[in-house]
Amino acid sequence: MMLKIENLHAGIDGKEILKGINLEVGAGEVHAIMGPNGSGKSTMSNVLVGHPSYIVTQGKVTFKDKDLLAMSAEERSHQGLFMSFQYPVEIPGVSMTNFMRTAINEKRKALGKQPLSPTDFLKLIKEKRDLVKLDSKFMNRSVNEGFSGGEKKRNEIFQMAMLEPSLSILDETDSGLDIDALRIVADGVNRLKSPETSVIVITHYQRLLDYIKPDIVHVLYQGRIIKTAGPELALELEERGYDWVIKEYEDSLK
């Protein structure tokens, strides 16, 4: 099992947002988490990657047989957890190359490996840039500084490719992307898929799921997963909206 979430309760600023999440993601699977605004999608991804502002009050998360919640954000990353940010952060004065080299070598260090040689590092960069069609000029620029919305998202997938995570969470990766950028990003994600890696796609819309085909679709509502089904659910949500799922759920509580 890649990821197992059991009865996860978490919140921010003393307000509980996740109210008992249960979710299992197997190796090689693609899961989509959909839901209306404010349902807790972003909280869930932030809690999983260990954002310090979010507090877990109850529950357990196991990632590749390890206690995920006991790890720091950087340890989670070293263990193979990656999140593509909805709003990638600009870091003036830190070049992409320096940033990437540090990230890669810190991960290698944590796993007891030698740092990558400069030649191998450059080779790796070249290979992964091609995957998302990211121009080499970006490597000398500061991280995300002055990147367009599409370039930022491509940069996220580039970093994902560089770090070779076992579980990637794509948090609203489609927001702010035009159709061409969306294709490039989705294409990159698809080419990184393998039987050993899993993806959680968090999205409000069906659009991205046309390109990254999920195996399983979940609906998150008021901090709980209220429905789980196959990929056809995404299409149905696109057509009919969320109201019917919510009604179904509320009826089931009666």
Partner 1 sequence: MMPVHNYIDIFGQNRALIDKGSAGVMNALRDKALESLMRYGLPHKGLEEYLHTDVATWFEPDWGMNLSRIDMHVDKAQAFKCNVPNLSTLLYFLANDEFAASDTAAKASLPDGVFIGSLREAANRHPEIVDAYYGRLADMNRPGIAAINTMFAQDGMMIYVPDGVTIDKPLQLVTLLHSPVDLMVNRRILVVLGRGAQLKLLLCDHALTANGFLTTQVVEVFAGSESRFELYDLEETHNSNLRVSELYINQDADSQAEIDYVTLHNGKTRNSVFSTFAGRGSNLSLNGIATVDKEQHVDNMTFVDHRLSDCTSTELFKYVLNDSATGAFAGKVLVRHGAQHTVSEQTNRNICLTRQARMFTQPQLEIYADDVKCSHGATVGQLDEKAMFYMRQRGIPEAEARMMLMQAFVGEVIGRVALEPLRDRLNRLVEKRFRGELSQCEGCRACR
Span from 22-30, 102-110, 223-231, 236-244 in contact with partner 1 (CB under 8 A): 102-110
**Which 28-57 residues touch partner 1, going by CB under 8 A?**
49-52
Burial class of residue 4, CB neighbours in 10 A (0-12, 13-18, 19+): middle
Any contact of residue 103 with partner 1 (CB under 8 A)?
yes
The C-alpha torsion from 47 through 50 and 52 to 57, rounded to 10°, is 50
Q: Which of residues 150-169 bind partner 1 (CB under 8 A)?
A: 159, 163
DSSP letter at 114 equals: P
Q: Which span sits near partner 1 by CB under 8 A: 17-25, 92-100, 193-201, 206-214? A: 92-100
State yes or no: residue 128 binds partner 1 (CB under 8 A). Answer: no
According to the binding rule CB under 8 A, does residue 149 interact with partner 1?
no
Decide: is 85 part of the binding site for partner 1 (CB under 8 A).
Answer: yes
Show the binding pattern over residues 54-73: x = contacts partner 1 (CB under 8 A), - = does not: ------------------xx
- Alpha carbon of 135 to those of 10, 141, 158: distances in Å? 40, 11, 11
Closer residue to partner 1 (CB): 94 or 124: 94
> What DSSP string runs through 50-105?
T-TTEEEEEEEEEETTEEGGGS-HHHHHHTTEEEE-SSPPPEEEEEHHHHHHHHHH
**Sign of the dihedral defined by the CA atoms of residues 224, 71, 78, 62, in that order:** negative
107 binds partner 1 (CB under 8 A): yes
The binding site for partner 1 (CB under 8 A) comprises 49-52, 72-74, 77-78, 82-83, 85, 88-94, 98-99, 102-104, 106-107, 110, 142, 159, 163
